[in-house]
Amino acid sequence: MQRLIEGHRHFLEDIFPERKNQFHLLAEQQTPRWLVITCSDSRVLPDLFLSTGPGDLFITRNAGNVVPIAIDDVDGCTATIEYAVEVLQIRHAILCGHSDCGAMKAALNKTGLENLPKASRWLQHVEAAFGYRQPLNPADGDSAELASLIRGNVVAQLMNLHAQPAVVRATAEGRLELHGWYYDILTGHIEEYDEQKKRFFPLSIQDAIQP
Q: Answer whether residue 184 is part of any domain.
A: yes
Beta pairing partners, 180: 95
pLDDT tens digit sequence for 45-89: 999 999 999 999 999 999 999 999 865 677 899 999 999 999 999
Question: Residue 156's closest CA among 184, 186, 123, 187?
Answer: 123
pTM above 0.85, yes or no: yes
Q: Average pLDDT, whole number, for the chain?
A: 92
Q: Answer whether residue 20 is part of any domain.
A: no
pLDDT tens digit sequence for 100-152: 999 999 999 887 788 899 999 999 999 999 999 999 999 999 999 999 999 99
* Alpha-helical runs (H) found in the chain: 2-10, 20-26, 46-49, 76-86, 102-109, 117-122, 144-162, 165-172
Q: Answer whether residue 205 is part of any domain.
A: no
Q: Answer whether residue 101 is part of any domain.
A: yes
Q: Write out the residue range of the structural domain in which residue 117 sits.
A: 31-195
CATH number (domain holding residue 96): 3.40.1050.10
Q: Answer whether residue 140 is part of any domain.
A: yes
Three-state secondary-structure class, residue 45: coil
pLDDT tens digit sequence for 173-210: 999 999 999 999 999 999 999 999 999 999 976 555 45
Q: In whole angstroms, what separates CA 10 from the centre of its chain? A: 29
Q: Answer whether residue 19 is part of any domain.
A: no
Q: Answer whether residue 9 is part of any domain.
A: no
Helix axes 144-162, 165-172, angle to 10 degrees: 70
Number of domains in the chain: 1
Residue 100 near residue 64 (C-beta atoms within 8 A) = no
Q: Answer whether residue 107 is part of any domain.
A: yes
For residue 90, what are the CA distances in angstroms to 21, 58, 87, 96, 156? 24, 9, 8, 16, 22
